Chain A
Amino acid sequence: AQSVTQPDIHITVSEGASLELRCNYSYGATPYLFWYVQSPGQGLQLLLKYFSGDTLVQGIKGFEAEFKRSQSSFNLRKPSVHWSDAAEYFCAVGPFFGNEKLTFGTGTRLTIIP
Protein backbone atom coordinates (compact mmCIF):
# COMPACT_ATOMS: atom_id res chain seq x y z
CA ALA A 1 0.00 0.00 0.00
CA GLN A 2 1.15 3.51 -0.65
CA SER A 3 2.11 5.79 2.24
CA VAL A 4 3.57 9.22 2.82
CA THR A 5 5.70 10.36 5.73
CA GLN A 6 6.33 13.95 6.69
CA PRO A 7 8.86 13.67 9.52
CA ASP A 8 8.54 17.26 10.73
CA ILE A 9 5.31 18.11 12.52
CA HIS A 10 6.22 21.76 13.04
CA ILE A 11 8.97 23.96 11.59
CA THR A 12 9.80 27.55 12.52
CA VAL A 13 11.74 29.69 10.08
CA SER A 14 12.76 33.34 10.09
CA GLU A 15 11.31 35.53 7.38
CA GLY A 16 13.75 35.67 4.46
CA ALA A 17 15.42 32.40 5.37
CA SER A 18 15.38 29.33 3.17
CA LEU A 19 12.97 26.47 3.73
CA GLU A 20 12.98 22.74 3.12
CA LEU A 21 10.06 20.50 4.06
CA ARG A 22 10.66 16.79 3.93
CA CYS A 23 8.45 14.15 2.35
CA ASN A 24 9.17 10.45 1.97
CA TYR A 25 6.88 8.05 0.18
CA SER A 26 6.45 4.34 -0.06
CA TYR A 27 5.06 2.94 -3.28
CA GLY A 28 5.90 0.04 -5.54
CA ALA A 29 6.03 1.96 -8.80
CA THR A 30 6.54 5.51 -9.99
CA PRO A 31 4.06 7.58 -8.05
CA TYR A 32 2.31 10.82 -8.73
CA LEU A 33 3.53 13.27 -6.07
CA PHE A 34 1.94 16.49 -4.90
CA TRP A 35 2.47 19.30 -2.43
CA TYR A 36 -0.55 21.19 -1.11
CA VAL A 37 -0.76 24.18 1.21
CA GLN A 38 -3.62 24.93 3.59
CA SER A 39 -4.09 28.23 5.39
CA PRO A 40 -6.03 28.13 8.66
CA GLY A 41 -9.70 27.30 8.14
CA GLN A 42 -9.27 27.11 4.39
CA GLY A 43 -9.23 24.48 1.69
CA LEU A 44 -6.10 23.10 0.09
CA GLN A 45 -4.22 24.71 -2.76
CA LEU A 46 -1.92 22.77 -5.07
CA LEU A 47 1.64 24.10 -5.01
CA LEU A 48 3.17 21.67 -7.49
CA LYS A 49 3.03 18.12 -8.77
CA TYR A 50 5.37 15.54 -10.28
CA PHE A 51 4.39 12.81 -12.71
CA SER A 52 7.47 12.20 -14.85
CA GLY A 53 10.31 13.96 -16.61
CA ASP A 54 12.49 16.59 -15.01
CA THR A 55 12.91 15.69 -11.35
CA LEU A 56 13.04 19.35 -10.28
CA VAL A 57 9.54 20.75 -10.37
CA GLN A 58 8.66 24.42 -10.17
CA GLY A 59 5.44 25.46 -8.52
CA ILE A 60 3.49 28.53 -7.55
CA LYS A 61 4.53 31.12 -4.97
CA GLY A 62 8.24 30.48 -5.59
CA PHE A 63 8.22 26.87 -4.37
CA GLU A 64 10.06 23.98 -5.97
CA ALA A 65 10.42 20.29 -5.18
CA GLU A 66 12.88 17.63 -6.18
CA PHE A 67 11.97 14.01 -6.79
CA LYS A 68 14.73 11.62 -5.73
CA ARG A 69 13.85 8.06 -6.55
CA SER A 70 16.90 6.61 -4.76
CA GLN A 71 15.79 8.26 -1.51
CA SER A 72 12.02 7.92 -2.08
CA SER A 73 11.78 11.61 -1.32
CA PHE A 74 9.99 14.65 -2.69
CA ASN A 75 11.17 17.57 -0.58
CA LEU A 76 9.70 21.04 -0.93
CA ARG A 77 11.99 24.07 -0.97
CA LYS A 78 11.80 27.83 -1.10
CA PRO A 79 14.87 30.07 -1.11
CA SER A 80 13.35 32.90 0.90
CA VAL A 81 10.13 32.60 2.89
CA HIS A 82 7.58 35.35 3.43
CA TRP A 83 5.29 35.80 6.42
CA SER A 84 2.37 34.81 4.18
CA ASP A 85 3.89 31.33 3.75
CA ALA A 86 2.84 30.40 7.29
CA ALA A 87 0.42 27.52 6.80
CA GLU A 88 0.07 23.74 6.90
CA TYR A 89 1.82 21.86 4.12
CA PHE A 90 0.73 18.42 2.95
CA CYS A 91 2.62 16.02 0.74
CA ALA A 92 0.47 13.50 -1.13
CA VAL A 93 0.99 10.48 -3.34
CA GLY A 94 -1.29 8.86 -5.88
CA PRO A 95 -1.16 5.77 -8.11
CA PHE A 96 0.22 5.86 -11.67
CA PHE A 97 -2.81 4.03 -12.97
CA GLY A 98 -6.18 3.65 -11.40
CA ASN A 99 -8.45 5.64 -9.25
CA GLU A 100 -8.56 9.13 -8.00
CA LYS A 101 -7.41 8.51 -4.45
CA LEU A 102 -4.69 10.64 -2.96
CA THR A 103 -2.87 9.52 0.17
CA PHE A 104 -1.84 12.52 2.26
CA GLY A 105 0.98 12.83 4.73
CA THR A 106 0.22 14.08 8.23
CA GLY A 107 1.30 17.60 7.37
CA THR A 108 3.98 20.05 8.48
CA ARG A 109 2.95 23.28 10.15
CA LEU A 110 5.16 26.18 9.15
CA THR A 111 5.57 29.17 11.44
CA ILE A 112 7.38 32.29 10.24
CA ILE A 113 9.06 34.59 12.74
CA PRO A 114 10.06 38.18 11.96
Chain B
Amino acid sequence: DTEVTQTPKHLVMGMTNKKSLKCEQHMGHRAMYWYKQKAKKPPELMFVYSYEKLSINESVPSRFSPECPNSSLLNLHLHALQPEDSALYLCASTRTSGLTDTQYFGPGTRLTVL
Protein backbone atom coordinates (compact mmCIF):
# COMPACT_ATOMS: atom_id res chain seq x y z
CA ASP B 1 0.00 0.00 0.00
CA THR B 2 1.61 3.25 -1.16
CA GLU B 3 -1.34 5.48 -0.54
CA VAL B 4 -1.68 8.80 1.22
CA THR B 5 -5.31 9.75 1.78
CA GLN B 6 -6.64 13.24 2.37
CA THR B 7 -10.05 14.38 3.53
CA PRO B 8 -12.09 16.21 2.58
CA LYS B 9 -11.54 16.42 -1.18
CA HIS B 10 -13.12 19.86 -1.31
CA LEU B 11 -13.76 22.41 1.40
CA VAL B 12 -15.50 25.77 1.25
CA MET B 13 -15.26 27.95 4.33
CA GLY B 14 -15.91 31.48 5.43
CA MET B 15 -13.26 33.69 6.91
CA THR B 16 -14.61 33.22 10.42
CA ASN B 17 -14.90 29.44 10.28
CA LYS B 18 -12.68 26.84 11.91
CA LYS B 19 -12.03 23.71 9.91
CA SER B 20 -9.45 20.94 9.71
CA LEU B 21 -7.78 19.02 6.92
CA LYS B 22 -6.80 15.43 7.54
CA CYS B 23 -4.02 13.31 6.04
CA GLU B 24 -3.41 9.64 6.72
CA GLN B 25 -0.86 7.05 5.65
CA HIS B 26 -0.36 3.45 6.74
CA MET B 27 3.03 2.84 5.15
CA GLY B 28 4.93 3.22 8.40
CA HIS B 29 6.42 6.50 7.20
CA ARG B 30 7.93 8.70 9.88
CA ALA B 31 8.01 12.04 8.07
CA MET B 32 4.92 13.90 6.87
CA TYR B 33 4.58 17.17 5.00
CA TRP B 34 2.03 19.87 4.20
CA TYR B 35 2.31 21.79 0.93
CA LYS B 36 0.22 24.62 -0.47
CA GLN B 37 -0.27 24.85 -4.23
CA LYS B 38 -1.87 27.80 -5.96
CA ALA B 39 -3.28 27.38 -9.46
CA LYS B 40 -0.61 26.96 -12.14
CA LYS B 41 2.16 27.19 -9.53
CA PRO B 42 4.48 24.61 -7.98
CA PRO B 43 3.85 23.28 -4.48
CA GLU B 44 5.25 25.34 -1.61
CA LEU B 45 6.35 23.60 1.53
CA MET B 46 4.52 24.67 4.68
CA PHE B 47 5.40 22.20 7.45
CA VAL B 48 7.39 19.04 8.01
CA TYR B 49 6.89 16.59 10.85
CA SER B 50 9.65 14.12 11.53
CA TYR B 51 8.96 11.34 14.04
CA GLU B 52 5.84 13.23 15.10
CA LYS B 53 7.75 16.40 15.94
CA LEU B 54 7.55 19.61 13.96
CA SER B 55 10.91 19.97 12.23
CA ILE B 56 10.23 22.65 9.63
CA ASN B 57 7.82 25.58 9.66
CA GLU B 58 8.29 27.70 6.56
CA SER B 59 7.16 30.90 8.28
CA VAL B 60 3.53 29.99 7.79
CA PRO B 61 0.93 32.37 9.33
CA SER B 62 -0.50 31.22 12.64
CA ARG B 63 -3.96 30.86 11.14
CA PHE B 64 -2.60 27.52 9.91
CA SER B 65 -1.90 25.14 12.78
CA PRO B 66 -0.46 21.68 12.11
CA GLU B 67 -0.86 18.70 14.38
CA CYS B 68 0.59 15.20 14.27
CA PRO B 69 -1.38 13.06 16.78
CA ASN B 70 0.42 9.86 15.80
CA SER B 71 2.79 8.54 13.18
CA SER B 72 -0.01 7.82 10.69
CA LEU B 73 -2.02 10.99 10.95
CA LEU B 74 -1.39 14.63 10.12
CA ASN B 75 -3.91 17.41 10.56
CA LEU B 76 -3.96 21.01 9.46
CA HIS B 77 -6.25 23.22 11.52
CA LEU B 78 -7.56 26.31 9.81
CA HIS B 79 -8.91 29.43 11.50
CA ALA B 80 -9.67 32.94 10.28
CA LEU B 81 -8.36 32.27 6.80
CA GLN B 82 -8.22 34.84 4.04
CA PRO B 83 -9.47 34.45 0.45
CA GLU B 84 -5.84 34.33 -0.74
CA ASP B 85 -5.45 31.10 1.23
CA SER B 86 -7.65 29.36 -1.33
CA ALA B 87 -5.46 26.66 -2.88
CA LEU B 88 -4.85 22.94 -3.20
CA TYR B 89 -3.36 21.61 0.03
CA LEU B 90 -1.20 18.58 -0.46
CA CYS B 91 0.04 16.13 2.10
CA ALA B 92 3.06 13.89 1.54
CA SER B 93 5.02 11.33 3.49
CA THR B 94 8.44 9.66 3.36
CA ARG B 95 9.86 6.61 5.08
CA THR B 96 12.35 8.76 6.98
CA SER B 97 13.12 12.45 6.93
CA GLY B 98 15.85 12.28 4.31
CA LEU B 99 15.51 13.38 0.71
CA THR B 100 16.77 10.03 -0.52
CA ASP B 101 13.33 8.66 0.28
CA THR B 102 10.51 9.05 -2.19
CA GLN B 103 7.81 11.51 -1.21
CA TYR B 104 4.37 10.00 -1.66
CA PHE B 105 1.70 12.63 -2.20
CA GLY B 106 -1.99 12.52 -1.46
CA PRO B 107 -4.56 13.82 -3.96
CA GLY B 108 -4.99 17.05 -2.05
CA THR B 109 -7.82 19.08 -0.54
CA ARG B 110 -9.15 21.88 -2.70
CA LEU B 111 -9.85 24.75 -0.29
CA THR B 112 -11.95 27.77 -1.15
CA VAL B 113 -12.17 30.65 1.34
CA LEU B 114 -15.07 33.01 0.81
Contact = CB atoms under 8 A, between A and B. Distances in A.
Nearest to B43: A104
A46 B102 contact: yes
Contact of A105 (B42, B90, B94): B42
Q: B interface, how many residues as a size bin?
A: 20 to 34
Q: A interface, how many residues as a size bin?
A: 20 to 34
B29 to A, nearest CB: 12
Contacts of A90: 42-43
Interface in A72-90: 90
The binding surface of chain A is classed by DSSP as: loop
B42 A104 contact: yes
Contacts of B40: 107
Contact of B108 (A42, A46, A101, A104): A42
Contacts of B104: 46
A104 B56 CA distance: 17
Contacts of B25: none
B99 A100 contact: yes
A63 interface: no
Contact of B107 (A32, A43, A105): A43
Interface in B13-46: 31, 33, 40-43, 45
A41 B40 CA distance: 11
A90 B58 CA distance: 20
B59 interface: no
